[in-house]
Each structure stands twice: as C-alpha cells, then as structure tokens.
Amino acid sequence: MARLVDLIIMRHLPTYGNQQKQYIGWTNQEILDADVPPLTNQEIQVYSSDLIRCIQTSTLYFPRSTVHTDASFRELHFGDWEEKTYADLQFDTAYRNWIDRPLESTPPKGESFSEFETRVHQALFNLLDTSDSPFILVVHGGVIRLIKSWFTLTPFQQAAAGHNTVFHFTLEKKESWSCISYSEVPTTASEPLFARILKETM
C-alpha cells in the first residue's frame, strides 16, 4: 500500500540579518518583533532547524505543539561570508565565482552545496519514512528551495522561498517518494489549509 504524507513547510520569520540582506546561514539571530496569530490551536508535529529564529517562529505559529529540532535542517553554512552582504563581498574573487557557480563553488570555511544537500536530504527522507502525517517543517530559505527543487522539478536557483508563504506538499511513496499535489498560500490566508488538513487526518 502506498504511504501518503501531508508536508507543510514554512520559512522562519525575518531577522535583522534578513532585513539587511546579510548571509546568515548558521549565524544564530533571533527574529524581529512579530505580532502574529497562531495558525492552529491544535497540537501538530512540528520539526525545526535548531537555530533560534526557526524555534521562535514555530512557537508563535504552533503554541500547543512540541517543537522537535534538528541541526540537519540548518541553512547552508556561509563560512567567512556569514553576516556579510553583496556590497561587502562584490569585489571578492571567490565570492564572484560562487555567485556564478553556486552549486560547484564553496564559501571559504563554509559548506559545499553537495554537503548541504546531502544532510537535508537524509533528514527529510528519514522524517517522511518515520513520522505520522501531517507534519510541519519550519526551516530556512535554502532548505525550502532544495525541497521544492526535488519535488516540483524547479531548478534550485529559480525556486522562491519567501517568509510569508506556506508550502504544502502531498507526497506519496510507492517505490520512492513523489509529489502528487503542491500548493502555496500566503501565511495570512493559511488557516483554512491547516483546518482542512487537521480535520481530514483526525
């Protein structure tokens, strides 16, 4: 019998670094002050990066849920470029090479794209194989772009991952996992989505 999973993915709320357009892969910044209502008052499985911005976002949106953290869901580690901006780095030859070929180049003292992809892939597919449906992932922009590239066949560099969007995947496993339904809704309009999915799976 095929296994079906509803996977809902959200990006953490913005930080100061996001506001300043910094690279903040493993930099542990808190979110900016945010007055956001819960998206559901039901208990739901929530998995998150172990960085504070994802934990804080999870707690605000899902206050009755326990947040399970996993460092494997962190953003790409930008190494020496952490907390720097394009303006800071634009004349750096290594940075220019990375901008031109991000999948083949590695930030100094940072993480290669293949290392990033491997750890996220292992963590996600372990959850898909072992967790009950539905579940939430609260993660980073690069992680969302990776997952979209796998399941929607959108090239990584073209995949968008805004702070104010809920990404809903219905995944099916026969011999391997595939996406049978995908949608995006603004976070402010996502309560009906959560209500429908929770009701359907109760």
| Domains of the chain (ranges, CATH numbers) | 3-75+112-201 (3.40.50.1240)
Task: Please state the φ and ψ torsions of residue 12, each to the nearest 5 degrees.
Answer: -60, 160
Whether residue 53 contacts residue 12, with contact meaning beta carbons closer than 8 Å, is answered with yes
Prior bond to 38 cis, omega within 30? no
pLDDT of residue 51: 98
Whether this prediction's pTM lies above 0.85 is answered by: yes
pLDDT at 85 over 80: yes
Whether residue 75 contacts residue 49, with contact meaning beta carbons closer than 8 Å, is answered with yes
pLDDT at 199 over 70: yes
Token pair 């869901």 in the structure block, residue? 73
- pLDDT: which is higher, 61 or 41: 61
How high is the mean pLDDT of the chain? 94
Percent of the chain predicted with pLDDT > 70: 98
Whether residue 67 contacts residue 9, with contact meaning beta carbons closer than 8 Å, is answered with no
The tens digit of pLDDT for each residue in 147-159 reads 999 999 899 999 9
Largest pairwise CA distance in the chain: 55
